[in-house]
Amino acid sequence: MGYGVVADLSTSAERGSYMGIVSAGTMLGPAIGPVIGGVLAQFLGWRAIFWFLVIVSACFLVPFALTVPETGRNVVGNGSVPPQGWNMTLLEWWKLRKEAKSTDALSRTVSSEGRRLQQAELARKRQLRWPNPLKTIHIIMEKDMAVVLIYNALIYTAFYDIMASIPELFQEIYHFNDLQIGLCYIPFGCGCAIASFLNGRMLDRNYKRVARQIGFTIDRKRGDDLANFPIERARLEIIWPILTLGLICVLCYGWVLEKNAHLAAPLILQFFIGLCVNGAFNILSTLVVDLYPQSPSTATAANNLVRCFFGAGGTAVITIMIQKMGRGWCFTFISLVCIVTMPMLWVELKWGPGWREERRVRLAKIEEEKERVVERMESSGREEKA
């Protein structure tokens, strides 16, 4: 939902920075969580972790439900159309009620009628359907989306293999307790936080640079039509050095642990892995939203489905891999898998724009057919009334 809100509020030219902020929250959770969990488990017992989660979630959910507004473009347009009743937050309802009391009867009637017409126009264009999870599978089957989603899932798996193996490895090598192991996640959290904000700015800057090079005018008010813009190039140009450095750090991380090096060595490498691998993940996640702007939340759901499927498999076997292959060769294998499959990104750069255009034309034809059906139904309704 967070990525969907970003797509509603931001244009492609500024989406990188917004996505960076959302990604910071998404990735900081798994990085900071073990620190808090370690403290709670060490001093209060493991049950305290779940009480903590209940309390924090409730404290966040209440103000979220009361104040966060509807942003869906097919409900509120660009934000100027008030949402319908059941889409309103308590804050929006109170504001609307206050405005109604402060104006005279004629103004209230005009304002109410204007809102009703705007809401009716948006409602006419959308159809209320039962949520269809198969739409997520359909997105995965798109060629350009599949390439990005699969490679994104591979580097996500590498990232989580490292995080999932920390407790066992650090307890075995350094004989740490729960609290000490939790503190070892801090470098990850710092790297992830810096990557999220830094990469967002880099994405926006590179977007503007590509636009200048091809003579493309950025429309900050209405958003850009990406049909004639190489969004794949604008996003992927900055990923190569970041991803290469991150995968080299993954390889070195395994051999540092294999040699039982000083604690500082794996922690420094963790920071750079969080900075670079997570940075590459943020870039690809932004590209996923750009490639499917008509359904950004569904595209993000497809991203989550693929990466969590891969990540679950990776974390399930990482302990077995370490035991059978050794620490050094295990993380060398993980790094090499990501390096060998890097040409998938080149495939996206070369053929992705063509695949994206094919999808745009196909979806445009489907949308035109739907509009003709709606017009015929409205025409039939008017004839019956006449």
Total tally of structural domains belonging to the chain: 2
Structure tokens, 30 = 């798994």
**What pLDDT, on the 0 to 100 scale, is given for residue 103?**
58
- pTM of the predicted model as reported, rounded to 2 decimal places: 0.82
Look at residue 59 and tell me whether its pLDDT is greater than 70.
yes
97 occurs within a structural domain? yes
The answer on 347 and 313 residing in a single domain is yes
For 373-384, the pLDDT digits (tens) are 767 776 776 666
The answer on 297 and 159 residing in a single domain is yes
Over residues 59-77, mean pLDDT: 82
Look at residue 106 and tell me whether its pLDDT is greater than 50.
no
330 occurs within a structural domain? yes
Residues 6+ apart with CB under 8 A from 113: none
Domain that holds residue 106: 75-125
Nearest to 322 by CA among 249, 256, 258: 258
Residues 6+ apart with CB under 8 A from 56: none
139 occurs within a structural domain? yes
Interhelix angle for 143-174 vs 327-340, to 10°? 170
68 occurs within a structural domain? no
Between these two residues, 265 and 224, which has the higher pLDDT value? 265
Q: How far apart are CA 172 and CA 258, in angstroms?
A: 12
**What pLDDT, on the 0 to 100 scale, is given for residue 104?**
55
For 188-204, the pLDDT digits (tens) are 888 888 888 888 889 98
The answer on 90 and 210 residing in a single domain is no
The answer on 327 and 280 residing in a single domain is yes
Residues 6+ apart with CB under 8 A from 12: 207, 223, 224, 226, 229, 231, 290, 293
The answer on 145 and 91 residing in a single domain is no
267 occurs within a structural domain? yes
The answer on 332 and 220 residing in a single domain is yes
